[in-house]
Every structure is written in C-alpha cells, then in structure tokens.
C-alpha cells in the first residue's frame, strides 16, 4: 500500500484527530476518513479502527450528502 496523501486534518483533542486522506490499496484509490491518536505529544499519530473508506464511485453521493447537511445547518442558523 502506498503512503496516504493527507488532504485535511481536523483536531478533536490534544491526543486525537480526524485525518482525511487518499490512499491506494490493491491498485485502487480510496478516500479515507479515520480517527488517529497520539501518546507522545503528537510526534507520532497512529490510526484507530474508527473510520470509513470510500471508493471513487461513492464520492458523488458523499458530496451530495455533505451539501445537504450544510443546507440543513444554514437553515437552522436563520
């Protein structure tokens, strides 16, 4: 498996973060959203089992769902 290309990192706490990345597995590319943790003040981040993986053909559906969520949140803020 090739090294993942990290697209975004969202801090959840001092010891936990959500990493959004693209990686390759068995010749196919995937989008991963996974929780990582550290025990050494952030020098090393390790993956947990908590996360999801999306195939390229699922990205349109994911994008549409995120856009719908954004609309819901904006409507609540009004």
pLDDT digits (tens, 9 = 90+) for 6-30: 999 999 999 999 999 999 999 999 9
**pLDDT digits over 42-67, tens only?**
899 999 999 999 999 999 999 999 99
Q: 41: alpha, beta or left, given left = phi > 0 and alpha = psi -120 to 50?
A: left
Provide the strand spans (E) within the chain: 5-11, 16-25, 28-37, 46-54
Whole-prediction pTM value?
Answer: 0.84
Distance CA 24, CA 19 (A): 15
**CATH code at 5-77:** 2.30.31.10
Looking at per-residue confidence, does 2 or 38 come out higher?
38
Instruction: Assign 2 a pLDDT band (cuts: 50, 70, 90).
Output: low
Q: Say if CB 1 and CB 22 are below 8 A apart.
A: no
CB 32 within 8 A of CB 10: no
Residue that the structure tokens 């904006």 belong to: 74
**What integer pLDDT is reported at residue 5 of this predicted model?**
97
């Amino acid at each position: 498996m090739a090294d993942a290309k990290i697209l975004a990192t969202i801090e959840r706490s001092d010891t936990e973060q959500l990493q959004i990345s693209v990686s390759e597995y068995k010749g196919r590319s995937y989008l991963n959203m996974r929780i990582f943790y550290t025990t050494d003040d952030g020098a090393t981040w390790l993956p947990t089992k908590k996360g999801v993986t999306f195939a390229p053909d699922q990205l349109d559906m994911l994008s549409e769902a995120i856009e719908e969520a954004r609309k819901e949140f904006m409507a609540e803020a009004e």
